[in-house]
Structure 1
Amino acid sequence: MESTSTPERILRGIALTLVILFFMFPIFWIFMMSFQTNETILQIPPSLSFTPTLSNYMALITGKLTTAAGTLDIAFMGNLGNSVFLSTASVAVSLLLGVPAAYAFARHKFRGSEDIAFTLLSFRFAPPLLVLLPLTQYFQWLGLSDTYIGLIWVYQLICLPLILWIVRGYFEDISADVEYAYRIAGHSWFATFRKIALPLAGPGIAAAGLLAFIFAWNNFVFALVLASASKQPVTVGALAFVTSSGIQYGQIAAAIVLSIAPTLALALYAQRYLVEGLSLGAVKG
């Protein structure tokens, strides 16, 4: 039995290593590109032997991009700050609105509740191009074009349905008997929601908030059309590296590294909440 299990473990380890290398190699290659010049990146055949340089990161931090046509001003760090602000604010608003709504849908069934929930979810599935034209017209009429408030409002189309449906499932996995016992003791509905339901669904809420943050961070189309360069996130700001004199691959690679760093750090920090959230249904009842 031992002789058959050992080769199986070896093969499983080899397969797992190959899968990890397959998915991590593009990230490793982009990381290496961020320390190379355009001449080194475009040489054929490519080589892992090169003299590293920090010029790509310095160009992003200082906002001065040197090309064959001269020096260009870029606002990458400003775009990075916009991404942090827009994603954080939109997720905070979505959690404030979505978590109580998810609890209501999970605990209080009423006529048309499923239709309302599905309608909210359909906003997440709708193609962005389908709503861009009416949104542009409404924003111009309401004076929300090229404003942070307008972008945060639009980002609710991404975050709110996701949080609503994910957190609703976590609330449904929690036994309602615990809440009923707390209510019988004389506590109000809001106290039950705040002291019982929220702590029990905390890991699920954290996981939903993390996923919503990643989706908001990666948004491109809405910010491209509805905001100017001063308020656009990093996903749109990366277009500045495609210049008339060529594509600045080194700066693009450095921008990718800097732009994925916040979401990667957040995912590593919230990893334990993700694990707890996935195992929440195991203790149901």
Structure 2
Amino acid sequence: MSTEHAGPEVRRKSRIAGTAANAALIVYFLFSLLPIVFIIALSLKADRDQTTTYLWFAPTLDNYRTVLGLDGGGSSYVRFFLASLTTSVGAVLVSLVIGVPAAYAAARYRFKGSDNLMFTLLSFRFAPELLVIIPLAVIYRQLGLYDTAVGMIWVLQLVTMPLVVWILRSFFADFPVELEEAALLDGYSRRRAFVKVVLPLVRPGIAAVCLLAFIFAWNNFIFPFTLTSSSAQTVTVSSLAYLGGNQVRFNLVAAGAVMAALPPLVLALFIQRYLVRGLSFGAVKG
């Protein structure tokens, strides 16, 4: 029986239950924001306040000036930030160029052992990075790829490529085959049908996988920590510099972390309208 035809008592209890559920969700949401609030507050604290846990303090932007090198003390954070952008964007672009056709082929052309092949590709993503880091370090030094942006872009394919292929494979599998067949009947070649018909309609999937791949590439720590030293070092590694020496500067680490979180956030805001699947998916099925 719906609440519309229920008595006043039932409707009142239903409203109370709904209000309690909403209140619980709000409390949980605020609780989940506490780490973010704490790290932002820590980035605004002076040295004398960085070990305190209270939120009432005199905020200062000196930590951001120090990290960016605006206080005259010198800093390499901007260079490492740009190196992170270069390697992350480059890794995503390479994964898209190779992974999009691979995902389409995996969704359309099935053969004996194809599932095992896809599982093997996925295992590259979940295998511990420490498992391959020692031979990779030796190979990179011999090939001259150590501490280079090209080397980082290629090694990050172990992180981004499986995501691109597996996620886009499901999007291509959901795409109605009838639309492709109609394009082929109209005289399109297989390649032109893929470019003109399929790709525009799977843009939500491409946008979603770009965001996920960029976040995983941007946040990676083991590969840049082991395979770079200065030229191609990323912000995830460079922030450790503030944890050494005679004084640990947690406020500087927090300031660097806040700025390092901006690119994924800006990218998510920029492509959020593409993150919902298009209405055309499943339009012919059923």
**How high is the TM-score relative to the length of structure 2?**
0.91
Match of 1:195 in 2: 196
Match of 2:6 in 1: none
| 8 A Cα contact 1:174 1:284, kept in partner | no
| 8 A Cα contact 1:63 1:76, kept in partner | no
Q: 1:110 Cα deviation (Å)?
A: 2.4
Q: Could you tell me how far apart the structure 1 residues matched to 2:61 and 2:138 are?
A: 44
1:23 pairs with one of 32, 52, 69: 32
- What do residues 212-257 of structure 1 show as CA deviations (whole Å, max 9, x unaligned)? 0000000000111111122111000111101221210111111111
Q: Could you tell me how far apart the structure 2 residues matched to 1:232 and 1:90 are?
A: 15
Percent identity (aligned) = 42
SS at match of 2:45: coil
- After superposition, the Cα gap between the structure-2 partners of 1:284 and 1:236, relative to the gap in structure 1 and judged at 3 Å, is farther
Q: 1:41 Cα deviation (Å)?
A: 2.2
- After superposition, the Cα gap between the structure-2 partners of 1:186 and 1:284, relative to the gap in structure 1 and judged at 3 Å, is closer
Q: Name which of structure 1's ranges 170-179 and 112-121 shifts more when overlaid on structure 2.
A: 112-121
**Number of residue pairs the alignment of both structures matches:** 276
Match of 1:127 in 2: 128
Match of 1:100 in 2: 101
Gaps spanning 5+ residues in structure 2: where? 1-9
Q: 1:83 Cα deviation (Å)?
A: 1.0
Q: 1:272 Cα deviation (Å)?
A: 2.2
Q: Could you tell me how far apart the structure 2 residues matched to 1:205 and 1:223 are?
A: 26
- What do residues 27-49 of structure 1 show as CA deviations (whole Å, max 9, x unaligned)? 01111111111211224xx3322
Tell me if 1:173 matches 2:174.
yes
Match of 2:67 in 1: 60
Gaps spanning 5+ residues in structure 1: where? 66-70
Match of 1:32 in 2: 41
- What do residues 88-131 of structure 1 show as CA deviations (whole Å, max 9, x unaligned)? 01001100100011001111112332222222111111100000
| 8 A Cα contact 2:68 2:75, kept in partner | no
| 8 A Cα contact 1:63 1:77, kept in partner | no
| 8 A Cα contact 1:166 1:208, kept in partner | yes
**Greater strand proportion:** 1
Match of 2:240 in 1: 239
- After superposition, the Cα gap between the structure-2 partners of 1:267 and 1:280, relative to the gap in structure 1 and judged at 3 Å, is farther
| 8 A Cα contact 2:175 2:282, kept in partner | no
Q: Could you tell me how far apart the structure 2 residues matched to 1:125 and 1:113 are?
A: 19
Q: Could you tell me how far apart the structure 1 residues matched to 2:251 and 2:202 are?
A: 43
Match of 1:68 in 2: none
| 8 A Cα contact 1:63 1:75, kept in partner | no
Q: 1:280 Cα deviation (Å)?
A: 7.2
Q: Which amino acid aligns with 1:52?
A: P
- What do residues 34-92 of structure 1 show as CA deviations (whole Å, max 9, x unaligned)? 1111211224xx33221111110000111769xxxxx6x53111111111111101001
SS at match of 2:59: coil
| 8 A Cα contact 1:158 1:216, kept in partner | yes
Match of 2:57 in 1: 50
Match of 1:80 in 2: 81
Match of 1:268 in 2: 269
**How high is the TM-score relative to the length of structure 1?**
0.92
- After superposition, the Cα gap between the structure-2 partners of 1:145 and 1:204, relative to the gap in structure 1 and judged at 3 Å, is same
Q: Could you tell me how far apart the structure 2 residues matched to 1:274 and 1:199 are?
A: 14
Q: Could you tell me how far apart the structure 1 residues matched to 2:281 and 2:199 are?
A: 15
Q: Which amino acid aligns with 2:62?
A: S
Q: Name which of structure 1's ranges 87-96 and 241-250 shifts more when overlaid on structure 2.
A: 241-250
After the TM superposition, which segments of 4 or more aligned residues of structure 1 sit over 4 Å from their partners? 279-284
